[in-house]
Amino acid sequence: MEHLYAPWRDAYMKRLGEGECPFCYIVTHSTQDEETKVLYRAEHCFIVMNLYPYTPGHFMVIPNQHTDKLEELDITVWNEINDLVHKCVKMLKAELHVGGINLGMNLGRAAGAGIAEHVHYHIVPRWERDTNFITTIAKTRVYSVDFDDLYRKIKNLIPQYIK
């Protein structure tokens, strides 16, 4: 696989501090929600844009509790996560007119988790033919919209769906 030079990712990770969980950083730095692209904070979890998205509008619902064991989450936390996912799916279908949505968790590094130490739920909007030849032949993704504009759009839509 070819690798793309992405210096902004290095700066993001260095800002967090050596070995610090990026999701725990977001939990403890609520004054930086705009910078970290937090969309919404609930009692037990938060919604945040994926800074390295699979498709435009890819975001995550993440518990505040640092754990790699889904089964250790209190049922109240799990119910809140699922309630937010349910409302976000409704919002994506109604407002962004997505053709489909991938939902999922990768529990553990062996399952493909990039940040395996802190469980997180991916919500990935999909459209017909949202991938193309460049993904296949160059193992590169093209992000076709302005990330910050889409962040602001989704953030502004959330109050209509999450009350």
Q: Tens digits of per-residue pLDDT, 84-100?
A: 999 999 999 999 999 99
pLDDT band at residue 62, thresholds of 50, 70 and 90? very high
Give me the catalytic one of 58, 118, 120, 122: 120
Mean pLDDT of all residues belonging to the chain: 85
Residue 13 lies in a domain: no
Band of residue 53 on the pLDDT scale cut at 50, 70, 90: confident
pLDDT at 146 over 90: no
> In this structure, what CATH number is given to the domain that contains residue 29?
3.30.428.10
The boundaries of the domain holding residue 80 are 22-161
Q: pTM of the entire structure?
A: 0.83
Q: How many other CB atoms are found less than 10 A from the CB of residue 99?
A: 12
Q: With beta carbons less than 8 A apart as the criterion, state whether 40 and 158 touch.
A: yes
Residue 42 forms part of a structural domain: yes
Given this model, what pLDDT does residue 135 score?
A: 53
Residue 6 counted as domain residue: no
CA distance 47 to 146: 19
Tell me if 4 is assigned to some domain: no
Alpha carbon distance 87, 81 (integer Å): 10
Whether residue 62 lies inside any domain: the answer is yes
Catalytic site includes residue 120: yes
In angstroms, rounded to a whole number, what is the distance separating the alpha carbons of residues 73 and 84? 16
Domains in the chain: how many in total?
1
- Residue 48 pairs in a beta bridge with 38, 60
